[in-house]
Chain A
Amino acid sequence: MSEAELKRRKWDNTKLSMSVFFANKVAVVGLIIIMIYVVDALIVQFFPQLLGITNVGSLVPNFINPAPSPPSMAHLFGTTYPGVDLFTSTIKAIRIDLFYSVLVVAIGAAVGSLIGVISAYVGGLMDEIVMRITDVFFSIPYLILALAVGFVLGRSLLNMSIALAIVWWPLYARYTRSQTLSTKEFTFVEAAKASGVSRVKIMFKHILPNSLPPVFIQISLDLGSIMVIFSTLAFIGFIANASVPELGYLTSLGLNYVQTAPWTVIFPGLAITLFALAVNLVGDGLRDVMDPRRRS
């Protein structure tokens, strides 16, 4: 097949993929929601004045009026203890949550994938050892492991992310390992080996590009899950700093007032749920695109 034909095939395929994806209306809605969150984070990061936010990195308490007050014109989402405006806090918190979740997934996926691919390709004893290590990591419930690691490193946002990344990499290692194992068997790898290409080159040029695409779907799905777990850790009190804008932490502030001031827990909680929902919808849409059977 000529170059031009190959290119045309690829474009046709891409067109089919896009039409399949955009036919799924809920997936499109999800995508829009995710983009809103990203835009929010970017605005807070670079142009906080646009939204009237002065203290980007911390909550602004109001000790004169510490009691939570219901949503009103002045406070769109109401306030929570101690007098913190929920609307601006949520907007600030989205940036933090999004940033750290991406960080966790990036580190976990990068480290895990690399280890997984190398381990599968090299095989032998190294593979066995890596498998055992991942088994041990799997044997500790992720929440507990994150707690323990965080406890050791110190209870801050960054350390929480590192803890979660440590919990998360074995998943990617396992996943990419199995992908690599099946790619390894393909004959084009044999062909490359037969023509004397070095092992490292084979690994990077042939195996990696073929094992990775499914990983991307996993990564996009994980963004939602990680944010949920991240906020859960913050909720139970992981972070020592009492004024960090984080969705889980915000929810915990309202816990004591749930009977009189339910909005204090609903809005931050809703912010997280919405994001996780959107991510899952997009993930579903992506799966529709990738799975050859669902395409028909």
Chain B
Amino acid sequence: MEDTLRVSNLKVQFYTRRGIYKALNGVDLYLMQGEVFGVAGESGCGKTTLGLTIIGLLPVNAAVTAGEVILLGERDLIATLRKFTSKGPDKFNLRQSEEVMKKLNKELANIRGSRISMVFQDPMTSLNPVLQVGFQIAETVITHQPRSLAQRKLARARATRDDIEQIMKLLKEGADEQVINRYAESKGLRGIENQVLNVWRRSDLGEAKKGKIIMSLHSEKLGSFEKMVLQSVEKRKNIGGWMRVPGLSRAAKNVLLKEGYIEAIELLSMLEVPNPDKVVRMYPHELSGGMRQRIVIAIALANNPELVILDEPTSALDVTVQAQILELTRHLKQRFNTSFIFISHDLSVLAEVCDRIGIMYAGKIVEMAPTEVVFNKPLHPYTKMLIKAIPTIDGNEIQGIGGAVPDMRNVPLGCSFHPRCPDATDKCRAMKPETVEVEEGHFVSCFPKR
């Protein structure tokens, strides 16, 4: 099976008035479908930069000096940026950098939100304060899957009571997703299956209530304008043609928006948000941090992406909420087979959800292995020190890691960890270690520990 994501030799640096910060110094990693890959390290090691580079959302003063980011089936995502850096100006030129970023954004617009999405660290600032959260969720669906939105509503309109009764029967008999899908297809009711299943799978309602809701999903009335818009979108897969006329495009978007809100409500109930129908009309400041993070996750998942990057999703939240988010991640991994990159400074959090973990230091991945291997057979000295630094219930003494993260303007020669490494040798001080696959799936970048 091909990798969902492959990052090779990624090198990224930032221009500042105080010098050039080398944030990533040759990162290699791969990600398979349905995996949760953890990225661990102290602050300043470059993990957030790694996440941002994969999705291409770097600030203007960033430069990609080498490397590739290859998503399954696509060419290198950051090619444009890398080419610009290599043949571009040697001094930082704001205007040109902005132009390149705009170009990159345009190129990646198709992928972002539909194949790759990202959840940022601070839910307090991630959401637009002047827009309703339901809108912010619906927006991403309208952008990437307007057709499926149209189909949903059309399906509800076309379905008859009998159709729905039949589906209810199938559900009660324990039919799985495939069967329902096939049934819907055969009746020309493409679009109804998700709605039905989303309700059926809710855990906060009783069966009777669920039945009632499902039974209402038929013979919906459509206004004539609505019908025109929806059918047109269904056919052409987007908002185009006659709907581009200035006055009409707003109205057309509103038709889709209404359905988008309904889908947003479904998404939120899946994420176990209470009273989703009220929440979608609220503004971010009216919601708690945990709720906001769920909104952001809903936005990230709305279009069933192949890869979701989570940048410290729990660091700004308290422990109970943290636990919920982790549970959610596990649940989603199971349900959708999405791949996740989970960035965190907290190894214990990563231990809970990740299949594989990569330890980052000074812009490189120094060790990468399946989770149990990392914890039971760590090879790199830094990994060992990180593990020893985790507070545990049995009261073992926590051992901090002496020294500090190196100044990324002047990365130490040789292995970047050698100033803090208890096992450093002369070789470590002189040469940079290669990454070696010690056993299957276990990679280490360290001289003494090969």
Contact = CB atoms under 8 A, between A and B. Distances in A.
A295 interface: yes
Nearest to B19: A296
B23 to A, nearest CB: 14
Interface in B3-42: 16-18
Interface string A273-296: 000000000000000000000011
A296 B16 CA distance: 5
Contacts of B17: 20, 295-296
Nearest to B17: A296
5 contacts: A20-B17, A295-B17, A296-B16, A296-B17, A296-B18
A117 to B, nearest CB: 32
Contacts of A20: 17
A267 B16 CA distance: 43
Interface residues of A, number: 3
B180 to A, nearest CB: 54
Contacts of A296: 16-18
Interface string B312-333: 0000000000000000000000
A20 B17 CA distance: 9
Nearest to B16: A296
A286 B398 CA distance: 48
A76 B17 CA distance: 46
Interface residues of B, number: 3
Nearest to A295: B17
Interface in B394-444: none
Q: What are the 5 A-B residue pairs with the smallest beta carbon separation, nearest first?
A: A296-B16, A296-B17, A295-B17, A296-B18, A20-B17
A20 B18 CA distance: 11
A7 to B, nearest CB: 21
B260 to A, nearest CB: 36
Nearest to B61: A296
A168 B342 CA distance: 55
Nearest to B15: A296
Nearest to A19: B17
A295 to B, nearest CB: 6
A296 B14 CA distance: 11
Interface in B85-100: none
Contacts of A295: 17
A24 B18 CA distance: 17
A66 B421 CA distance: 89
Contacts of B18: 296
Nearest to B18: A296
A20 B16 CA distance: 13
Interface in B101-130: none
Interface in A6-23: 20
A295 B19 CA distance: 12
B97 to A, nearest CB: 14
A296 B21 CA distance: 12
Contacts of B16: 296
Interface string A230-272: 0000000000000000000000000000000000000000000
B119 to A, nearest CB: 25
Interface string B181-209: 00000000000000000000000000000
Interface string A21-37: 00000000000000000
A208 to B, nearest CB: 31
A56 to B, nearest CB: 47
B269 to A, nearest CB: 41
B424 to A, nearest CB: 30
A288 to B, nearest CB: 10
B58 to A, nearest CB: 15
A136 B17 CA distance: 45
A228 to B, nearest CB: 31
A93 B17 CA distance: 43
A295 B16 CA distance: 9
A104 B378 CA distance: 71
Nearest to A20: B17
A295 B18 CA distance: 9
Nearest to B14: A296
A135 to B, nearest CB: 27
A296 B17 CA distance: 5
A16 to B, nearest CB: 8
B231 to A, nearest CB: 51
A180 to B, nearest CB: 27
A67 B16 CA distance: 60
A26 B35 CA distance: 55
B130 to A, nearest CB: 24
B61 to A, nearest CB: 8
Interface string B261-298: 00000000000000000000000000000000000000
A296 B19 CA distance: 9
A158 B403 CA distance: 65
A241 B16 CA distance: 57
A296 B409 CA distance: 14
B59 to A, nearest CB: 11
A280 to B, nearest CB: 21
A254 to B, nearest CB: 42
A295 B17 CA distance: 7
Interface in B135-181: none
A182 B16 CA distance: 29
B379 to A, nearest CB: 38
A69 B402 CA distance: 81
A296 B94 CA distance: 13
B84 to A, nearest CB: 21
Nearest to A23: B17
A29 B227 CA distance: 65
A296 B18 CA distance: 7
B409 to A, nearest CB: 12
B20 to A, nearest CB: 12
A190 to B, nearest CB: 27
A222 B227 CA distance: 61
